[in-house]
């Protein structure tokens, strides 16, 4: 950390945490004209798009050098793992960057109907259903490249890449963003989108602000992924999902992506986490309750090594909740709240936060209203946080246990799952809505759902759907390659 002697509030000088320094009383622009965004991954890019749409100048600061080709990069280690965007996220992205979904498709993204995706739940295969939504499946580096190109083409957005932020300070009403060996950037407002490992709590402490209350709920999930090429051996066009459960904490999924490729992901909890080498990758698939994925992989050509990722805990920093908060500072994306990635929520939540940012950026002239907007942004994490933490706490490997309300809720949704595999449309629709973050959790208690659940408690459960016929072709695919 480099502290400049002419910067009285630079990080590192005010080491003792204090309730929060007095805000400068001098004039501050009612609307920030220049906003610095730290981090040019999805949350930073969406934030930049929102701020630019509000007519402000944006400087995106990114530590990686960003190539013009779709490749994984060091600052985003999860880039080698599969990523999907939930339906709510697609809508928010389209609102921020009109036409972006069509651009993803034109670049090779696969549009998958999740209602027709073979999906193995603890109680059997889900029936095909029209009560669902589409997702776009493509490699994360390609999606990031396409979104970045769009954002950088917006008027007022510039990128400083290959420079790492090492601290923040205040100078009058301005913020100063300190760069390692590259000077400082002055801005009226700062948005931190530097991800799960953000140093913002440390920078804030240096400025005299209290650290955020932080929660970590961790079920020790491990990912192992491998990319494959389809040389014509596989005719399946959907994808396949096999859920892990607390009783059998090993799951997997396979998704077609651009250029005739597939991503195959294994996920396991605690001591069931998948290994790093090809032999353990194949062994893991063979232990799953259905041979579909082993057969699929046997019919594809490997296209790279196994990539593992184990930083998957739910981590939430509740900025603005306690103590003082500075004017003109907002936090978004994984820096604010990172989820267990298996629920696929992070990009969607970041895009929804950007929708709020578009309005927030007009109200950052004082500490009180900045803090109010930060709270609104944080509130968007409540529902996805409840989903992912409550689910994770069911696993024996989790660092906590469900409370009574969560246990009752799980019993309810468990009953819904049993009904859903038997083609109960109300339960299927409620699951699709909540999974895609298209509605509030109250959908799980909609009158039609409640009627089904209560009826099932006094009657018999429906017969589960048969194994999807599209999977029957996989053995045949295997033989023909
Ligand atoms: C294994 C895995 C799988 C996932 N799968 C999905 C999925 O299927 N669907 C989904 O929606 N989400 C998924 N996520 C979550 C998703 O990756 C993130 O939510 C999403 O990338 C938004 O994160 P972000 O932009 O806040 O942070 P990140 O993507 O972590 O990016 C942070 C950026 O800030 C930069 N940076 C950090 N520090 C500094 C600094 N000091 N100075 C300058 N730049 C800095 C980094 O280089 C990086 O570019 C997954 C996550 C993981 C770990």
Confidence of residue 460 (pLDDT cuts 50, 70, 90): confident
Q: Calculate mean pLDDT across residues 218-243.
A: 95
Distance (Å) of CA 202 to CA 44, 199, 300: 20, 5, 47
What pLDDT is stored for residue 120 in this prediction?
96
Q: How far is CA 67 from CA 64, 146, 340, in A?
A: 9, 12, 28
pTM as predicted: 0.93
Q: pLDDT-based confidence at 9, cuts 50/70/90?
A: very low
Task: State the burial class of residue 411 (Cβ atoms within 10 Å of its Cβ: 0-12, 13-18, 19+).
Answer: exposed
**Ligand 1 centroid to 41 CA: how many Å?**
6
Please, what is the average pLDDT of the chain? Answer: 91
- Per-residue confidence band for 4, with pLDDT thresholds at 50, 70 and 90: very low
Whether pLDDT at 8 is above 70: no
Ligand 1 is surrounded, with C-beta below 6 A, by 38-44, 61-64, 75-76, 78, 81, 83-85, 164-165, 193-196, 223, 309, 333-335, 341, 344-348, 350
In which residue are the tokens 């400068």 written? 24
| Nearest-atom index, ligand 1, CA of 179 | 42
The minimum-distance atom of ligand 1 relative to the CA of 74 is: 47
Is 60 exceeded by the pLDDT of residue 20? no
Cα 194 to ligand 1 centre (Å): 8
User: Could you tell me the pLDDT band of residue 29, with boundaries at 50, 70 and 90?
Assistant: low
Half-sphere exposure (Cβ direction) of 461: Cα atoms closer than 13 Å? 15
Question: What does the alpha-carbon distance between residue 182 and residue 352 come to, in Å, rounded to a whole number?
Answer: 32
Using CA atoms of 352, 327, 64, 388 in order, give the dihedral in degrees to the nearest 10.
Answer: -40
Cα-to-centroid distance, 76 and ligand 1 (Å): 6
Q: What is the mean pLDDT of residues 451-469?
A: 92
Distance CA(433)–CA(423), nearest Å, equals 16
Which of ligand 1's atoms lies nearest the C-alpha of 45?
A: 25
Q: Which of 41, 81, 92, 165 to mutate to test the pocket of ligand 1 (most atoms within 8 A of CB)?
A: 41
Nearest CA to ligand 1 atom 39: 194
Q: How far is CA 365 from CA 51, 85, 338, in A?
A: 15, 34, 28
Comparing 108-117, 304-313, 468-477, which segment has the lowest mean pLDDT? 468-477
Residue 84: C-alpha distances to residues 27, 108, 170, 248, 431 (Å): 45, 14, 38, 24, 17
CA of 397 to the centre of ligand 1 (A): 24
Q: What confidence score (pLDDT) does residue 21 get? A: 53
Q: What's the pLDDT tens digit per position in 196-206?
A: 999 999 999 99
Lowest mean pLDDT among 20-29, 183-192, 318-327: 20-29
Note the pLDDT of residue 475.
76
| pLDDT exceeds 80 at position 5 | no
The mean per-residue pLDDT over the stretch 119-128 comes to 94
Residue 118's pLDDT band (boundaries 50, 70, 90)?
Answer: very high
Rg over CA atoms, the chain: 23
The answer, yes or no, to whether residue 156 has pLDDT greater than 90, is: yes
Which domains does the chain possess?
34-82+139-217+313-385 (3.50.50.60), 221-312 (3.30.70.2450)
Residue 10: which pLDDT band, with cuts at 50, 70 and 90? very low
In the reported structure, the alpha carbon of residue 42 is separated from the centroid of ligand 1 by a whole-number distance in angstroms of: 7
Query: What is the per-residue pLDDT for 441?
Result: 86
Ligand 1 geometric centre to CA of 325 (Å): 25
Q: How far is the CA of 285 from the centre of ligand 1 (A)?
A: 27
pLDDT band of residue 25 (cuts 50, 70, 90) is very low
pLDDT of 129-154, one tens digit each? 987 899 999 999 999 999 999 999 99
Question: Cβ neighbours of residue 191 under 8 Å, at least 6 residues apart?
Answer: 35, 36, 37, 38, 44, 47, 51, 329, 330, 331, 332, 357
Residue range 423-427: mean pLDDT, rounded: 95
């Amino acid at each position: 950390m480099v502290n400049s002697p002419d910067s009285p509030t630079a990080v590192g000088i005010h080491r003792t945490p204090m309730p929060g320094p007095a805000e400068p009383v001098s004039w501050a622009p009612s609307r920030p004209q220049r906003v610095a965004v730290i981090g040019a991954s999805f949350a930073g890019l969406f934030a930049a798009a929102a701020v630019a749409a509000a007519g402000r100048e944006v400087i995106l600061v990114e530590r990686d050098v960003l190539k013009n080709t779709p490749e994984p990069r060091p600052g985003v280690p999860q880039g080698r793992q599969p990523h999907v965007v939930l339906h709510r996220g697609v809508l928010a992205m389209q609102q921020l960057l009109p036409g972006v979904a069509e651009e993803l498709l034109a670049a090779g993204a696969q549009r998958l109907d999740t209602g027709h995706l073979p999906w193995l739940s603890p109680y059997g295969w889900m029936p095909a259903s029209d009560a669902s939504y589409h997702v776009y499946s493509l490699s994360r580096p390609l999606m990031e490249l396409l979104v970045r190109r769009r954002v950088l083409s917006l008027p007022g957005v510039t990128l400083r890449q290959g420079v790492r932020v090492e601290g923040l300070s205040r100078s009058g009403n301005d913020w100063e963003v300190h760069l390692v060996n590259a000077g400082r950037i002055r801005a009226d407002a700062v948005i931190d989108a530097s991800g799960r490992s953000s140093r913002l709590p440390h920078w804030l402490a240096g400025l005299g602000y209290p650290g955020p209350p932080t929660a970590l709920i961790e079920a020790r999930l491990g990912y192992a992924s491998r990319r494959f090429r389809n040389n014509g051996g596989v005719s399946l066009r959907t994808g396949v999902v096999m859920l892990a459960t607390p009783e059998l904490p090993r799951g997997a999924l396979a998704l077609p992506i651009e250029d005739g490729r597939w991503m195959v992901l294994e996920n396991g909890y605690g001591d069931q986490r998948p290994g790093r080498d090809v032999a353990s990758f194949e062994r893991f698939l063979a232990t799953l309750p259905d041979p579909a994925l082993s057969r699929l992989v046997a019919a594809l050509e490997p296209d790279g090594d196994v990539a593992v990722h184990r930083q998957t805990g739910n981590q939430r920093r509740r900025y603005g909740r306690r103590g003082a908060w500075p004017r003109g500072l907002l936090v978004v994306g994984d820096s604010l709240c990172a989820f267990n990635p298996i629920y696929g929520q992070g990009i969607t939540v970041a895009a929804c936060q950007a929708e709020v940012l578009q309005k927030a950026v007009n109200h950052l002239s004082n500490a009180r209203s900045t803090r109010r907007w930060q709270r609104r942004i944080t509130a968007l994490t409540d529902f996805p946080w409840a989903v992912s933490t409550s689910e994770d706490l069911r696993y024996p490997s989790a660092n906590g246990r469900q409370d009574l309300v969560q246990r009752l809720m799980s019993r309810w949704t468990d009953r819904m799952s049993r009904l859903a595999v038997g083609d109960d449309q109300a339960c299927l629709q409620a699951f699709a809505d909540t999974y895609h973050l298209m509605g509030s959790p109250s959908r799980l208690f909609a009158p039609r759902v409640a009627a089904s659940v209560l009826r099932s408690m006094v009657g018999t459960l429906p017969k589960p759907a048969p194994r999807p016929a599209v999977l029957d072709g996989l053995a045949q695919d295997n033989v023909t390659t």
